[in-house]
């Protein structure tokens, strides 16, 4: 059952990612990308990362893609004009590079992590079961990774200021 659901979701994710990079209209691309993000969130649930799945839907499919659609509408790019694809030569190069990269990554997949680092199967699922999906993520985040977390907040502040400075017509 889990395996069928996994392949269903990943098939839809790959298909909508393909449609995202081939549609001519930016709005259609953005909506197919939202579809991809929802399916990746479903894959996160199947991989026992429930809280990450919720954050994926909220942050990616919600906030970031709304920002993209907002900019597309603000700049009035919604109408499908002449295509922005590269010419036939560029397409061949792009697809060839992509296929080579995919093969390399698929070969890299065969390198399994060494056995002494590996947890027994089902550890994460049991941890989520015992401590709840939020606490299982929050405890390492606020203990071992506290300083990176604080640096992240500083980075978000810089990004806010930078976005305002860049996009505002006159400061």
Partner 1 sequence: MLLGPALAVSAVLFSLGVVGVLLRRNAIIIFMCIELMLNAVNLAFVALSQQLGMDGQVFVFFVMTVAAAEAAVGLAIVIAVYRHRETLNLQNINLLRG
Selected binder of partner 1 within 8, 73, 95, 134 (CB under 8 A): 95
Site string for partner 1, 52-81 (x = CB under 8 A): x--xx--xx--xx--xx--xx-xx-x----
Q: Does 18 bind partner 1 (CB under 8 A)?
A: yes
Q: For residue 120, what is the DSSP state?
A: P
Shortest distance, position 89 Cβ to partner 1, whole Å:
12
- Gap between the Cα atoms of 45 and 50, Å rounded: 5
Work out the angle between the directed axes of helices 65-74 and 26-46 (0-180°, nearest 10). 180
Chain positions 24 to 43 lying near partner 1, rule: CB under 8 A, are: 26, 29-30, 33, 36-37, 40, 43
CB proximity list for 49: less than 8 A, separation 6 or greater: 124
End-to-end CA, the chain = 57
Structure tokens at 19: 């449609």
Chain positions 110 to 169 lying near partner 1, rule: CB under 8 A, are: 113, 117-119, 121, 123-124, 127, 136-137, 139-141, 144-145, 148, 152, 155-156, 158-160, 162-164, 166-167, 169
Selected binder of partner 1 within 109, 130, 147, 171 (CB under 8 A): 109
> How many Cβ atoms sit within 10 Å of the Cβ of residue 99?
10
Shortest distance, position 37 Cβ to partner 1, whole Å:
6
Structure tokens at 155: 């980075």
Selected binder of partner 1 within 42, 79, 84, 147 (CB under 8 A): 84
Selected binder of partner 1 within 101, 129, 132, 150 (CB under 8 A): 101
- Gap between the Cα atoms of 143 and 94, Å rounded: 43
Structure tokens at 75: 């700049």
């Amino acid at each position: 059952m889990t395996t069928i659901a996994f392949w269903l979701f990943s098939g839809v994710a790959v298909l909508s990612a393909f449609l995202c990079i081939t549609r001519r209209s930016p709005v259609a691309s953005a909506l197919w990308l939202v579809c991809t993000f929802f399916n990746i969130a479903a894959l996160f649930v199947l991989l026992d990362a429930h809280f990450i799945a919720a954050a994926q839907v909220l942050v990616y499919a919600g906030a970031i893609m709304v920002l993209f659609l907002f900019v597309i509408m603000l700049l009035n790019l919604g109408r499908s004009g002449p295509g922005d694809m590269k010419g036939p030569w560029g397409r061949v190069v792009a697809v060839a590079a992509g296929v080579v990269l995919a093969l390399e990554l698929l070969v890299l997949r065969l390198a399994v992590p060494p056995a002494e680092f590996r947890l027994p199967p089902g550890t994460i699922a049991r941890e989520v079961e015992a401590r709840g999906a939020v606490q299982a993520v929050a405890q390492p985040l606020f203990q071992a990774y506290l300083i990176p977390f604080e640096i992240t907040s500083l980075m978000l502040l810089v990004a806010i200021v930078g976005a305002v400075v860049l996009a505002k017509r006159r400061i």
